[in-house]
Structure 1
Amino acid sequence: MKVVIQRVSEGKVSVNGEVTGAIKRGIVALVGFEKGDLPSFLEKMADKIVNLRIFEDENGKMNLSLKDIKGELLLVPNFTLAADCKKGRRPSFQSSELPEKAKEMFETFVKVCEKEVPVKTGVFGADMKVYILNDGPVTLILNSKEIF
């Protein structure tokens, strides 16, 4: 499971011109699943995202979490995060989880995150337009293989 998170002032996702999810201050997370990802990763990743101290406190230090600031989370499914670009010029997606299983894991991940913070989402499998007003910029990459 790979997740790219960005601290944002605002973010939104639209499909066919219709906004499917929009947030103000919080985190936009692009979420991709790989073959071999386990359901146990979902709770751990959700905990990491909502408690990661990437928001500034009154002294300008990154000391506050998404939960601390009562921020929102915009989850965007993104299978391209599992791409392998080591060889050639065309990404390989052989390590990407099968769409049916990835969709199920994404939907479960949304439910897990909703227990902690307000969540909005993109649409799995859709051609989405993602607007991200990155604050900082602060962008971090979380990989379940490296942190769990």
Structure 2
Amino acid sequence: MSLLISFLLTVHVIVCLLLVLAVLMQLPRSEGLGAAFGGSVTQDIFGAQTTNVLAKFTVWLGIAFFVLTLILAMAYARKDAGDTAVQRQLKAAAAAPAVTAPAVAGTPAAEPSASPVPAAPVVETVATPAPEASASPAASAAPAASPVATP
């Protein structure tokens, strides 16, 4: 596939250069850049119908330019589609982030806020005083506990 792409790119560059030269050699209405090549030199090479020949040549080069561009775009799109399963796994492994080793004893651990997993809420029990008007001595001896969640 890469050999085909290299060949098509070479042909594409040649077509681009020829297209630029064909446009520059055309005689505009005011004899602008066409006169820079000698004016009558192109008429001597292509004959009296120079304008028609260069116009047709420019059209064919333009068509070739667009066709080559589309073919190159499809070739580049299919370039990665031809990978084998092993090549895709190797590319995926190279793109995966490196796994860090667990902390060794004696080294400071990472802060909990830096971990990607959110910390679970801490549930604390808060002792509430028992009502004083309670008649039962067991109720006044052990305070009631109610769970309170703190973020």
Q: TM-score range by the shorter chain?
A: under 0.3
Q: Which has the higher strand share?
A: 1
Higher relative contact order (CA 8 A, sep 6+): 1
**TM-score calculated relative to the size of structure 1:** 0.21
**TM-score calculated relative to the size of structure 2:** 0.21
**Structure number with bigger Rg:** 2
Q: Which has the higher helix share?
A: 2
